[in-house]
Amino acid sequence: MLSLPVVLLSGDWAIVVFVCVFSYALVRYVRSPWRKVPPGPRGLPFLGNIRELSNTRWLTSPESKAAYGDIMHLRIPGQSVVFLNSQKVAADRFDRRAAIYSDRPHLILVSEMYTGGMELSLAPYGDRWRRMRRAAHEGLNIFAVKQYQPVQSKEAVILALDILVDSTNWAVHLRRHAASLIMSVLYDKPTTERADDESVVKINEHVMRLVVVTLPGSNWVQIFPWMKHIPSRFAKWKRTALTWFSHDSDVFQGLMDNVRSKLAVGIESASLGATLIAYQERIGLSDLEIAWLASQMFIAGAETTSSSLEYRDRAPVFSDLPALPYHKGLRLELEVAE
């Protein structure tokens, strides 16, 4: 049987190449997840929605919700952002469907380098995240926190005395109170004598560094992920991130070492740090992981506590309980436990 050679002319080659490229582009388009993103403003070429993201008043305005609905999509170089414009939609995604929406955006510089994957609020959903979250829940559930009531009462009295002595620095007293209360709960280390405790200052500096490098467009590696493979000796930004990770790890581990020292000489410590040390082997957390986890509890609690207190126009009383949003659920949980 004769086999005749097939000769394609230059025009035929052009047609074949066009068909291949067109087919590839069509398949990519059909399968692209970008076709399924929620509606949002068109944005600028390459820069995306930088203008919209910088206009916080527009983001939260009725106009943006009317134009794009309860779920709005915006993009910036290297990152996609979805805004939820109603409490109902947020509760549906993050409460009822938490198994689907529990992950975090992957911020290369912050998640991998500045925090080494140890920051619970930035860590991707996975085995480490589950172990750290479980440890935090066991150490701070509604039954475990009862052991902290004496220190809460003590700090409340100290705050009242501070305000009586100097009522002009309301915000300063509240911030010192919040920091001292949470340092006591976490490390059995009150800061009642100093408003600028060294440990608190270092943790707050850590937070500010993360805020700066998390801002959209603040680093090139988020836009060009391949840059993370550049050796540290050729990338100053990478050396800086890894240096701060080492520095912050030493700070957090130093705080946990103080708790271990007390336990080693038989001093009982009613603190989350002591609880994490007791749970460490059972839950499977390393020394570094529990050190970072404890620091996250300070970051999550200190600023929110003082800010909430600053918005009050009077001291809270127990008759306020029925007006608290989570009081009904807490009461039900307690009744079930009893």
pLDDT at residue 31 in the model: 59
What's the distance, CA 285 to chain centroid?
19
Contact 142, 132 (CB under 8 A): no
pLDDT values of the chain reduced to their tens digit, one per residue, 338 residues: 444 454 444 556 667 666 676 666 666 655 555 567 788 888 777 777 877 777 777 877 888 888 888 888 888 776 778 888 888 888 887 777 766 776 777 788 888 899 998 988 888 778 888 899 888 888 888 888 888 888 888 888 988 888 888 878 888 888 888 888 889 899 988 876 555 678 888 888 998 898 888 876 678 887 788 888 999 899 999 999 999 999 999 999 999 999 999 888 888 778 899 999 988 888 899 999 999 999 988 888 777 777 777 777 666 677 777 777 665 544 444 444 44
Quick one: which of 118, 152, 150, 148 has its CA closest to 135?
A: 118
List the beta strands (DSSP E) in 160-229.
none
pLDDT at residue 338 in the model: 44
pLDDT at residue 17 in the model: 65
User: Which SS3 state, helix, strand or coil, does residue 71 take?
Assistant: strand
Cα–Cα dist 163/7, whole Å: 93
pLDDT at residue 2 in the model: 46
Task: Map tokens 């993370």 to a residue.
Answer: 228
pLDDT at residue 11 in the model: 54
Task: Map tokens 């976490």 to a residue.
Answer: 186
Which option is the CATH number for 127-337: 3.20.20.330, 3.30.70.260, 1.10.630.10, 2.40.50.140?
1.10.630.10
pLDDT at residue 267 in the model: 83
Domain boundaries of the chain, sorted by first residue: 37-87, 127-337
pLDDT at residue 290 in the model: 93
pLDDT at residue 111 in the model: 87
pLDDT at residue 334 in the model: 43
